Amino acid sequence: MRFFIVDDDPAVRSMLEQIIEDENLGSIVGEAGDGAHIDHSLLALRQADILLIDLLMPERDGIETVRELAGAFEGKIIMISQMESKELIGKAYSLGIEYYITKPINRLEVISVIRKVSERLRLQRSIKDIQKTLSAIGLGGGAAEKDATPREKSIIECGNYVLSDLGLIGEAGSKDLLEILDYLYRYEADHPLEQGFPQLTDIYQEIARNKLGSSASEADLKKEVKAAEQRVRRAVNQALSHLASLGLLDYANPKFEQYAPKLFDLSDIRKRMKELENEETANLGMIRQNTKKFIQVLYLEAKRLREGPT
Protein backbone atom coordinates (compact mmCIF):
# COMPACT_ATOMS: atom_id res chain seq x y z
CA MET A 1 0.00 0.00 0.00
CA ARG A 2 1.09 3.57 -0.75
CA PHE A 3 0.39 6.20 1.91
CA PHE A 4 0.14 9.99 1.82
CA ILE A 5 0.22 11.77 5.21
CA VAL A 6 -1.25 15.23 5.85
CA ASP A 7 -0.72 16.74 9.31
CA ASP A 8 0.55 20.13 10.48
CA ASP A 9 2.63 18.46 13.21
CA PRO A 10 5.95 17.12 11.80
CA ALA A 11 6.32 14.83 14.84
CA VAL A 12 3.01 13.12 14.06
CA ARG A 13 3.95 12.68 10.40
CA SER A 14 7.27 11.18 11.45
CA MET A 15 5.61 8.84 13.94
CA LEU A 16 3.08 7.58 11.38
CA GLU A 17 5.82 7.08 8.80
CA GLN A 18 7.90 5.09 11.28
CA ILE A 19 4.96 2.85 12.24
CA ILE A 20 4.10 2.13 8.60
CA GLU A 21 7.69 1.33 7.65
CA ASP A 22 8.55 -0.65 10.81
CA GLU A 23 5.48 -2.88 10.37
CA ASN A 24 5.96 -3.25 6.59
CA LEU A 25 2.49 -1.87 5.97
CA GLY A 26 3.56 -0.09 2.80
CA SER A 27 5.53 2.94 1.65
CA ILE A 28 5.17 6.69 2.14
CA VAL A 29 4.72 8.41 -1.22
CA GLY A 30 4.21 11.93 0.08
CA GLU A 31 3.39 14.20 2.98
CA ALA A 32 2.09 17.71 3.53
CA GLY A 33 1.62 20.10 6.42
CA ASP A 34 -1.86 21.27 5.45
CA GLY A 35 -4.89 20.15 3.46
CA ALA A 36 -4.50 23.20 1.23
CA HIS A 37 -1.31 21.66 -0.17
CA ILE A 38 -2.96 18.58 -1.72
CA ASP A 39 -5.60 17.77 -4.31
CA HIS A 40 -6.76 14.68 -6.18
CA SER A 41 -4.25 15.32 -9.00
CA LEU A 42 -1.31 15.17 -6.59
CA LEU A 43 -2.64 12.00 -4.94
CA ALA A 44 -3.16 10.42 -8.36
CA LEU A 45 0.33 11.42 -9.46
CA ARG A 46 1.82 9.81 -6.35
CA GLN A 47 -0.52 6.81 -6.82
CA ALA A 48 -1.63 7.05 -3.19
CA ASP A 49 -3.83 4.23 -1.93
CA ILE A 50 -4.56 5.53 1.58
CA LEU A 51 -4.67 9.12 2.82
CA LEU A 52 -3.97 9.74 6.51
CA ILE A 53 -5.18 13.25 7.32
CA ASP A 54 -5.46 15.44 10.41
CA LEU A 55 -8.79 17.05 11.27
CA LEU A 56 -7.60 20.49 12.43
CA MET A 57 -5.07 22.38 10.28
CA PRO A 58 -4.46 26.13 9.92
CA GLU A 59 -5.33 26.74 6.25
CA ARG A 60 -7.72 24.00 5.17
CA ASP A 61 -8.90 21.45 7.70
CA GLY A 62 -9.43 17.75 7.18
CA ILE A 63 -13.21 17.99 6.76
CA GLU A 64 -12.93 20.57 3.98
CA THR A 65 -10.12 18.65 2.30
CA VAL A 66 -12.08 15.39 2.32
CA ARG A 67 -15.07 17.25 0.89
CA GLU A 68 -12.86 18.59 -1.93
CA LEU A 69 -11.58 15.09 -2.69
CA ALA A 70 -15.04 13.50 -2.73
CA GLY A 71 -15.70 11.65 -5.96
CA ALA A 72 -12.16 12.22 -7.26
CA PHE A 73 -9.84 10.31 -4.91
CA GLU A 74 -10.37 6.56 -5.38
CA GLY A 75 -8.38 5.46 -2.36
CA LYS A 76 -9.33 5.25 1.32
CA ILE A 77 -9.16 7.98 3.95
CA ILE A 78 -8.25 7.64 7.63
CA MET A 79 -8.74 10.77 9.75
CA ILE A 80 -6.56 11.43 12.80
CA SER A 81 -7.19 14.11 15.44
CA GLN A 82 -7.17 14.86 19.14
CA MET A 83 -10.63 16.41 18.74
CA GLU A 84 -13.47 14.19 19.95
CA SER A 85 -16.38 16.37 18.92
CA LYS A 86 -19.34 14.10 18.07
CA GLU A 87 -20.52 16.56 15.45
CA LEU A 88 -17.16 16.72 13.65
CA ILE A 89 -16.62 12.95 13.81
CA GLY A 90 -20.11 12.33 12.47
CA LYS A 91 -19.50 14.80 9.64
CA ALA A 92 -16.22 13.06 8.77
CA TYR A 93 -17.91 9.67 8.51
CA SER A 94 -20.75 11.14 6.45
CA LEU A 95 -18.17 12.39 3.93
CA GLY A 96 -16.86 8.87 3.45
CA ILE A 97 -13.80 8.37 5.67
CA GLU A 98 -13.09 4.76 6.63
CA TYR A 99 -11.89 5.24 10.21
CA TYR A 100 -11.31 7.97 12.79
CA ILE A 101 -8.28 7.61 15.06
CA THR A 102 -7.88 9.87 18.08
CA LYS A 103 -4.60 11.40 19.22
CA PRO A 104 -2.27 10.85 20.98
CA ILE A 105 -1.19 8.23 18.45
CA ASN A 106 -1.61 4.67 19.67
CA ARG A 107 0.74 2.40 17.73
CA LEU A 108 -1.39 -0.74 18.02
CA GLU A 109 -4.56 1.11 16.98
CA VAL A 110 -2.86 2.62 13.93
CA ILE A 111 -1.52 -0.79 12.84
CA SER A 112 -4.90 -2.47 13.29
CA VAL A 113 -6.84 0.21 11.43
CA ILE A 114 -4.37 0.40 8.54
CA ARG A 115 -4.42 -3.38 8.10
CA LYS A 116 -8.21 -3.46 7.99
CA VAL A 117 -8.48 -0.58 5.55
CA SER A 118 -5.75 -2.09 3.36
CA GLU A 119 -7.55 -5.43 3.31
CA ARG A 120 -10.81 -3.82 2.26
CA LEU A 121 -9.05 -1.97 -0.55
CA ARG A 122 -7.44 -5.19 -1.77
CA LEU A 123 -10.79 -6.99 -1.75
CA GLN A 124 -12.50 -4.24 -3.70
CA ARG A 125 -9.72 -4.22 -6.29
CA SER A 126 -9.84 -8.01 -6.60
CA ILE A 127 -13.56 -7.86 -7.29
CA LYS A 128 -13.03 -5.22 -9.97
CA ASP A 129 -10.27 -7.31 -11.59
CA ILE A 130 -12.56 -10.36 -11.66
CA GLN A 131 -15.35 -8.33 -13.24
CA LYS A 132 -12.98 -6.96 -15.90
CA THR A 133 -11.73 -10.47 -16.67
CA LEU A 134 -15.25 -11.84 -17.04
CA SER A 135 -16.18 -8.96 -19.30
CA ALA A 136 -13.02 -9.40 -21.39
CA ILE A 137 -13.67 -13.09 -22.10
CA GLY A 138 -17.22 -12.34 -23.19
CA LEU A 139 -19.24 -13.80 -20.33
CA GLY A 140 -22.63 -12.14 -20.11
CA GLY A 141 -23.78 -12.17 -23.73
CA GLY A 142 -24.40 -9.05 -25.79
CA ALA A 143 -22.98 -5.57 -25.47
CA ALA A 144 -25.84 -4.34 -23.32
CA GLU A 145 -25.25 -7.17 -20.83
CA LYS A 146 -21.49 -6.55 -20.83
CA ASP A 147 -22.09 -2.93 -19.95
CA ALA A 148 -24.30 -3.99 -17.04
CA THR A 149 -22.08 -6.81 -15.72
CA PRO A 150 -19.45 -4.67 -13.94
CA ARG A 151 -22.20 -2.82 -12.09
CA GLU A 152 -23.97 -5.94 -10.83
CA LYS A 153 -23.19 -6.61 -7.22
CA SER A 154 -22.65 -10.11 -5.85
CA ILE A 155 -23.82 -11.13 -2.39
CA ILE A 156 -20.13 -11.57 -1.46
CA GLU A 157 -19.24 -8.05 -2.57
CA CYS A 158 -22.15 -6.58 -0.61
CA GLY A 159 -21.25 -8.72 2.38
CA ASN A 160 -17.72 -7.32 2.25
CA TYR A 161 -19.09 -3.77 2.41
CA VAL A 162 -21.14 -4.59 5.52
CA LEU A 163 -18.25 -6.45 7.18
CA SER A 164 -16.03 -3.45 6.54
CA ASP A 165 -18.57 -1.17 8.21
CA LEU A 166 -18.50 -3.53 11.18
CA GLY A 167 -14.70 -3.49 11.40
CA LEU A 168 -14.40 -7.17 10.49
CA ILE A 169 -12.31 -7.10 7.31
CA GLY A 170 -9.18 -9.09 8.06
CA GLU A 171 -10.75 -10.98 10.97
CA ALA A 172 -10.51 -14.79 10.69
CA GLY A 173 -14.27 -15.23 10.97
CA SER A 174 -15.02 -12.84 8.10
CA LYS A 175 -14.30 -15.55 5.51
CA ASP A 176 -16.70 -17.92 7.29
CA LEU A 177 -19.39 -15.25 7.34
CA LEU A 178 -18.98 -14.63 3.61
CA GLU A 179 -19.27 -18.36 2.93
CA ILE A 180 -22.44 -18.40 5.03
CA LEU A 181 -23.88 -15.50 3.02
CA ASP A 182 -23.17 -17.33 -0.23
CA TYR A 183 -24.80 -20.49 1.13
CA LEU A 184 -27.89 -18.59 2.32
CA TYR A 185 -28.24 -16.85 -1.04
CA ARG A 186 -28.23 -20.20 -2.86
CA TYR A 187 -30.47 -21.75 -0.20
CA GLU A 188 -33.08 -19.01 -0.60
CA ALA A 189 -33.44 -19.80 -4.30
CA ASP A 190 -35.08 -23.12 -3.33
CA HIS A 191 -36.39 -22.32 0.14
CA PRO A 192 -38.12 -18.94 0.63
CA LEU A 193 -36.71 -17.47 3.83
CA GLU A 194 -40.19 -16.27 4.84
CA GLN A 195 -40.62 -19.86 5.99
CA GLY A 196 -37.59 -19.50 8.25
CA PHE A 197 -33.80 -19.52 8.12
CA PRO A 198 -32.00 -22.87 8.24
CA GLN A 199 -30.62 -23.95 11.59
CA LEU A 200 -27.11 -22.74 12.41
CA THR A 201 -25.88 -26.31 12.86
CA ASP A 202 -27.09 -27.18 9.35
CA ILE A 203 -25.38 -24.08 7.92
CA TYR A 204 -22.05 -24.87 9.57
CA GLN A 205 -22.21 -28.50 8.43
CA GLU A 206 -22.91 -27.54 4.82
CA ILE A 207 -20.08 -25.01 4.82
CA ALA A 208 -17.72 -27.62 6.30
CA ARG A 209 -18.72 -30.19 3.65
CA ASN A 210 -18.12 -27.67 0.87
CA LYS A 211 -14.74 -26.81 2.32
CA LEU A 212 -13.45 -30.32 3.09
CA GLY A 213 -15.13 -32.24 0.27
CA SER A 214 -17.41 -35.25 0.20
CA SER A 215 -14.63 -37.64 1.26
CA ALA A 216 -14.10 -35.94 4.64
CA SER A 217 -14.65 -38.05 7.73
CA GLU A 218 -17.27 -37.23 10.34
CA ALA A 219 -14.50 -36.46 12.82
CA ASP A 220 -12.94 -33.92 10.45
CA LEU A 221 -16.33 -32.37 9.74
CA LYS A 222 -17.07 -31.97 13.45
CA LYS A 223 -13.64 -30.42 14.02
CA GLU A 224 -14.16 -27.91 11.20
CA VAL A 225 -17.68 -27.05 12.37
CA LYS A 226 -16.42 -26.34 15.89
CA ALA A 227 -13.55 -24.20 14.58
CA ALA A 228 -15.88 -22.23 12.32
CA GLU A 229 -18.31 -21.62 15.19
CA GLN A 230 -15.46 -20.24 17.32
CA ARG A 231 -14.20 -17.98 14.52
CA VAL A 232 -17.69 -16.61 13.90
CA ARG A 233 -18.29 -16.01 17.62
CA ARG A 234 -15.04 -14.04 17.85
CA ALA A 235 -16.03 -12.03 14.77
CA VAL A 236 -19.43 -11.22 16.26
CA ASN A 237 -17.79 -10.08 19.49
CA GLN A 238 -15.38 -7.91 17.48
CA ALA A 239 -18.32 -6.32 15.66
CA LEU A 240 -19.94 -5.60 19.01
CA SER A 241 -16.78 -3.89 20.26
CA HIS A 242 -16.39 -1.90 17.04
CA LEU A 243 -19.96 -0.60 17.11
CA ALA A 244 -19.69 0.18 20.82
CA SER A 245 -16.54 2.22 20.20
CA LEU A 246 -18.28 4.17 17.42
CA GLY A 247 -21.24 4.84 19.70
CA LEU A 248 -18.95 5.92 22.51
CA LEU A 249 -17.34 8.53 20.26
CA ASP A 250 -20.56 9.63 18.59
CA TYR A 251 -23.98 8.21 19.44
CA ALA A 252 -25.25 9.70 16.17
CA ASN A 253 -22.61 7.95 14.07
CA PRO A 254 -24.47 6.70 10.96
CA LYS A 255 -22.88 3.24 11.11
CA PHE A 256 -23.74 2.91 14.78
CA GLU A 257 -27.34 3.98 14.18
CA GLN A 258 -27.72 1.66 11.20
CA TYR A 259 -26.27 -1.55 12.61
CA ALA A 260 -26.20 -1.51 16.42
CA PRO A 261 -29.96 -1.85 17.10
CA LYS A 262 -30.38 -4.45 14.35
CA LEU A 263 -27.48 -6.75 15.20
CA PHE A 264 -27.42 -6.58 19.01
CA ASP A 265 -29.58 -5.94 22.03
CA LEU A 266 -29.07 -2.34 23.12
CA SER A 267 -28.39 -3.54 26.66
CA ASP A 268 -25.36 -5.48 25.38
CA ILE A 269 -24.16 -2.46 23.42
CA ARG A 270 -24.41 -0.30 26.55
CA LYS A 271 -22.47 -2.85 28.59
CA ARG A 272 -19.67 -2.94 26.05
CA MET A 273 -19.60 0.87 25.83
CA LYS A 274 -19.28 1.07 29.59
CA GLU A 275 -16.42 -1.45 29.55
CA LEU A 276 -14.61 0.53 26.86
CA GLU A 277 -15.18 3.79 28.71
CA ASN A 278 -13.74 2.33 31.90
CA GLU A 279 -10.95 0.56 29.95
CA GLU A 280 -12.15 -2.80 31.25
CA THR A 281 -11.60 -6.16 29.58
CA ALA A 282 -14.75 -7.30 27.83
CA ASN A 283 -16.79 -9.69 29.97
CA LEU A 284 -18.11 -11.63 27.01
CA GLY A 285 -19.70 -14.25 29.22
CA MET A 286 -22.25 -11.68 30.38
CA ILE A 287 -23.24 -10.70 26.86
CA ARG A 288 -26.21 -12.58 25.41
CA GLN A 289 -24.61 -13.20 22.05
CA ASN A 290 -27.17 -14.19 19.44
CA THR A 291 -25.09 -15.46 16.54
CA LYS A 292 -28.09 -16.55 14.51
CA LYS A 293 -29.67 -13.10 14.73
CA PHE A 294 -26.35 -11.53 13.70
CA ILE A 295 -26.08 -13.80 10.64
CA GLN A 296 -29.71 -13.19 9.64
CA VAL A 297 -29.31 -9.40 9.81
CA LEU A 298 -25.95 -9.56 8.03
CA TYR A 299 -27.54 -11.53 5.20
CA LEU A 300 -30.54 -9.21 4.91
CA GLU A 301 -28.29 -6.13 4.88
CA ALA A 302 -26.07 -7.62 2.17
CA LYS A 303 -29.12 -8.67 0.16
CA ARG A 304 -30.61 -5.19 0.50
CA LEU A 305 -27.42 -3.65 -0.88
CA ARG A 306 -27.37 -6.12 -3.76
CA GLU A 307 -30.95 -5.42 -4.74
CA GLY A 308 -30.70 -1.67 -4.23
CA PRO A 309 -29.89 0.88 -6.94
CA THR A 310 -26.42 0.51 -8.48
How far is it, in rounded angstroms, from Cα 85 to Cα 94?
14
* CATH classification at residue 13: 3.40.50.2300
Beta strands in the chain (DSSP E): 2-6, 27-32, 50-54, 76-81, 99-102
How far is it, in rounded angstroms, from Cα 31 to Cα 20?
13
Q: CA angle, corner 88, sides to 241 and 17, nearest 5?
A: 70
Average pLDDT, the chain: 83
Are 6 and 32 in contact by the 8 Å Cβ rule? The answer is: yes
Instruction: Quickly state the pLDDT bin for 51 (edges 50, 70, 90).
Output: very high
Are 28 and 17 in contact by the 8 Å Cβ rule? The answer is: yes
Q: What is the pLDDT of residue 144?
A: 40
How far is it, in rounded angstroms, from Cα 182 to Cα 214?
19
How far is it, in rounded angstroms, from Cα 287 to Cα 19?
35
* End residue of a domain, out of 61, 94, 118: 118
Are 296 and 197 in contact by the 8 Å Cβ rule? The answer is: yes
How far is it, in rounded angstroms, from Cα 251 to Cα 204?
35
Instruction: Quickly state the pLDDT bin for 194 (edges 50, 70, 90).
Output: low
Residue 156 has pLDDT above 80, yes or no: yes
Are 162 and 302 in contact by the 8 Å Cβ rule? The answer is: yes
Q: Can you tell me whether residue 54 is helix, strand or coil?
A: strand
Q: What is the pLDDT of residue 128?
A: 75
Question: Of the ranges 142-156, 218-232, 294-308, which one carries the lowest mean pLDDT score?
Answer: 142-156
Do 73 and 185 lie in one domain? The reply is: no
264 phi/psi in degrees, rounded to 5: -135, 160
139 belongs to a structural domain: no
Q: List pLDDT tens digits, range 230-257.
A: 999 999 988 998 888 888 877 777 888 8
Q: List pLDDT tens digits, range 74-83.
A: 899 999 988 7
Q: List pLDDT tens digits, range 264-304.
A: 988 888 888 888 888 766 555 545 568 888 999 999 998 88
Number of domains in the chain: 2
Q: List pLDDT tens digits, range 81-132.
A: 887 677 777 778 878 888 888 888 899 989 989 998 988 888 888 787 777 7
Where in the sequence is the domain holding 179, given as residue range(s)? 153-307
Q: What is the pLDDT of residue 172?
A: 80
* End residue of a domain, out of 96, 118, 140: 118
